[in-house]
């Protein structure tokens, strides 16, 4: 399927031949591959060696704007500060004869992440990790260098490939970057809330100071988008979405798609309204997400597992009994509940006696393994079929060794 770059080349191939050619020193421009309110991005060949590059050029009408020139200068400085394989590289920069600044970037072949999500509908958790881990490290390096990206979203990530074919997610567009150690001219207050509202943290919407946790919020939004195929806050006009981002409940991916509910916690923490309630860094976030998606083997312990299917009143009673026995509720629904606890911490005989008093139930009490981190449970125990005969027969089934 054609990538966005290929579509752009097809759609805008005539732009250069029919419009006024742009003369960038030592480069031969080919096609317009992207355009926004800030500038244009062209594919080009470097005359010295024929290397394919991308050239970003400020719109001519913005050359008199101090805000626009400052933002362009920030982007060039930000990319030059960073030496990371998952950040687009700046190769050169300069100014055209008409005063427009430009920056020459490496050309990354591949679809953007937004296209991939749209085409595949959602991305499985393990693939989400493969994409987000290098991006989170790239952002952490940026934060260490005093930079906050402020516009992390799916369309600003290209899924490129290394020469040996390995996946190489690349973060683009540092046009809204914040230099935390900046001492020169800043942006005017009237332009301080620039960005994509659906990808903005609450403090950005309020015009408050930003830091690394602003990008943590954006990465949380991106993780939700990848896992579910939908924006975290959607379904209404822009003003409603903005209100929900600041005041609404934090969304749970497992409410939209069938994934382990343990994945909800790190994403909801990243999307906390107050920056102080979020992980302090993108490294902290990706570590918590990694542990939720693929818990280390060392965290798996032998557990006693209770699973009950019944009417809501009976489920309420079964949940109460599980809590009294010291079990952690792992999955709860109106007509079912699954709870676990380390095997040695539960009086199995007492729990069996209490469960015997329940009527009209399909229940199972068995042994499995799981990772328990506070109230978050992950591991084979969540799959009832792996430790009990399923579907569960009427009454109480008790596994060997309980």
Q: What is the pLDDT of residue 207?
A: 87
Confidence of residue 368 (pLDDT cuts 50, 70, 90): very high
Q: What is the pLDDT of residue 193?
A: 47
43 or 15: which carries more pLDDT confidence? 43
C-alpha distances in angstroms, 310 versus 223, 316, 335, 351?
34, 9, 5, 17
Q: Does residue 179 carry a pLDDT above 70?
A: no
pLDDT tens by residue, 213-258: 999 999 999 999 999 999 998 766 667 777 778 888 899 999 999 8
Residue 339 has pLDDT above 50, yes or no: yes
Tell me which CATH homologous superfamily contains domain 113-180+198-293. Answer: Transferase(Phosphotransferase) domain 1 (1.10.510.10)
Of the listed ranges 27-41, 133-147, 267-281, the least confidently predicted one is 27-41
4-106 has which fold? Answer: Phosphorylase Kinase; domain 1 (3.30.200)
Among the listed residues 156, 153, 148, 204, the one whose alpha carbon sits nearest the alpha carbon of residue 177: 148
For 154, 230, 231, 353, 387, the CA distances from 118, given in Å and listed in that order, are: 10, 9, 11, 52, 37
> What's the mean pLDDT when you consider all of the chain?
87
- Domains of the chain, by residue range, sit at 4-106, 113-180+198-293, 297-398
Examine the pLDDT at 379 and tell me if it is beyond 90.
no
Give mean pLDDT, residues 32-51.
90
pLDDT of residue 187: 44
pLDDT surpassing 90 at residue 190: no
Q: Enter the pTM of the model.
A: 0.72
Higher-confidence position of 297 and 369: 369
Contact 169, 158 (CB under 8 A): yes
Catalytic residue among 49, 144, 151, 383: 151
Asked if pLDDT for residue 140 goes beyond 50, the answer is: yes
Q: What is the mean pLDDT of residues 38-43?
A: 90
Active site residue 151: yes
Q: What is the CATH number of domain 297-398?
A: 3.30.70.1230
Q: Which residue has the higher pLDDT, 268 or 74?
A: 268
The pLDDT of residue 299: 80
Question: Using CA atoms, how far apart are residues 382 and 367, in angstroms rounded to an integer?
Answer: 11
């Amino acid at each position: 399927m054609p990538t966005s770059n290929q579509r752009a080349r097809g759609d805008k191939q005539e732009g250069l031949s029919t419009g006024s050619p742009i003369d960038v020193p030592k480069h031969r421009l080919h096609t317009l591959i992207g355009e926004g309110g800030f500038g244009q991005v062209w594919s080009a060949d470097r005359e010295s060696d024929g290397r394919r590059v991308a050239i970003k050029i400020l719109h001519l009408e913005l050359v008199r704007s101090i805000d626009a020139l400052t933002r362009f200068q920030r982007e060039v400085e930000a990319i030059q500060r960073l030496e990371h394989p998952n950040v687009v590289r700046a190769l050169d920069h300069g100014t055209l004869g008409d005063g427009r600044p430009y920056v020459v970037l490496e050309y990354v072949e591949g679809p953007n992440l937004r296209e991939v999500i749209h085409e595949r509908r959602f991305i499985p958790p393990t693939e989400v990790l493969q994409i987000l881990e290098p991006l989170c490290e790239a952002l952490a390096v940026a934060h260490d260098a005093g930079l906050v990206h402020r516009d992390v979203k799916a369309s600003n990530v290209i899924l490129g490939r290394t020469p040996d074919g390995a996946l190489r997610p690349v973060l683009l567009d540092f046009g809204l970057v914040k230099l935390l150690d900046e001492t020169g001219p800043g942006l005017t207050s009237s332009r301080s809330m620039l960005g994509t509202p659906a990808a903005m943290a609450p403090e950005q919407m309020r015009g408050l100071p930003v830091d690394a946790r602003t990008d943590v919020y954006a990465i949380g939004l991106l993780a939700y988008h990848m896992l579910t195929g939908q924006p975290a806050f959607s379904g209404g006009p822009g003003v409603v979405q903005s209100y929900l981002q600041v005041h609404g409940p934090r969304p749970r991916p497992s409410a939209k798609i069938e994934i382990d509910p343990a994945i909800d916690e790190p994403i909801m923490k990243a999307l906390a309204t107050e920056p102080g309630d979020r992980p302090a860094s993108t490294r902290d976030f990706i570590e918590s997400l990694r542990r939720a998606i693929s818990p280390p083997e060392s965290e798996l312990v032998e557990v006693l597992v209770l699973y009950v299917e019944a009417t809501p009143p009976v489920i309420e009673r079964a949940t109460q009994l599980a809590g009294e026995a010291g079990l952690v509720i792992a999955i709860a629904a109106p007509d079912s509940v699954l709870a676990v606890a380390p095997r040695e911490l539960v009086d199995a005989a007492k729990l069996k006696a209490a469960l015997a008093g329940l009527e009209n139930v399909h229940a199972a009490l068995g042994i499995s393994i799981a990772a328990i981190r506070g109230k978050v449970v992950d591991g084979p125990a969540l799959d009832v079929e792996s430790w009990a005969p399923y579907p569960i027969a009427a009454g109480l089934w008790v596994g060997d060794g309980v």
